Structure 1
Amino acid sequence: MPRSKRDKDVSLTRVKKKTRGAKEGLVHQLREAVDEYPHVFVYEFENMRSSKFVQVRQKFKSNSRFYFGKNNVMAIALGKDKTTECATGISKISQLLKGQCGLMFTSADKDEVIQYFRELKDADFARAGVIAPQTIDLSAGPLEQFAFSVEPQLRKLGMPTSLVKGVIHLTQDFRVCTEGEAIKPEEAKILKFLEEKLSVFQVNLKAYWSKQTGLKDLA
Structure 2
Amino acid sequence: MPKSKRDRPVTLSKTKKKGRGHKESIVNSIREEIEKYNSVYVFSFENMRNLKFKEFRDKLKSSSRFFLGSNKVMQVSLGRSVSDEIRPGLHKISKLIRGDSGLCFTNLPKEEVQRLFNEFEEYDFARTGSIASEKVELKEGPLDQFTHEMEPFLRKQGMPVRLNRGVVELVSDFVVCEEGKPLSPESARILRLLGTKMATFRLHLVCRWSPEQFEVYKEGLDDSDIESS
2:73 is aligned with 1:65: no
Deviation readout 1:115-172 (Å, 9 max, x if unpaired): 1111111110000010111111111011111111101110110000011111111100
2:171 is aligned with 1:174: no
Q: 1:214 Cα deviation (Å)?
A: 2.0
Q: 1:112 Cα deviation (Å)?
A: 1.1
TM-score (norm 2): 0.85
Q: 1:18 Cα deviation (Å)?
A: 6.6
One-letter code of the match for 1:119?
E
One-letter code of the match for 1:32?
E
CA distance, structure 2, for counterparts of residue 180 and residue 210 of structure 1 = 40
One-letter code of the match for 1:112?
E
Alignment partner, residue 87 of structure 1? 87
Alignment partner, residue 196 of structure 1? 196
Contact 2:49–2:201 (8 Å) recurs in 1: yes
Q: 1:189 Cα deviation (Å)?
A: 0.3
One-letter code of the match for 1:153?
F
Alignment partner, residue 113 of structure 2? 113
Gaps of 5+ in 1: 1-16
CA distance, structure 2, for counterparts of residue 162 and residue 176 of structure 1 = 17
Deviation readout 1:84-115 (Å, 9 max, x if unpaired): 11111110111111111110001112111111
TM-score (norm 1): 0.89
CA distance, structure 2, for counterparts of residue 214 and residue 138 of structure 1 = 51
Alignment partner, residue 30 of structure 1? 30
Q: 1:217 Cα deviation (Å)?
A: 2.6
| Number of equivalenced pairs | 203
CA distance, structure 1, for counterparts of residue 192 and residue 23 of structure 2 = 39
Q: 1:216 Cα deviation (Å)?
A: 2.8
Gaps of 5+ in 2: 1-16, 220-229
2:217 is aligned with 1:210: no
> What root-mean-square deviation, in Å, do the aligned CA atoms of Structure 1 and Structure 2 show?
1.4
CA distance, structure 1, for counterparts of residue 121 and residue 217 of structure 2 = 21
CA distance, structure 1, for counterparts of residue 216 and residue 155 of structure 2 = 53
Percent sequence identity over aligned pairs: 44
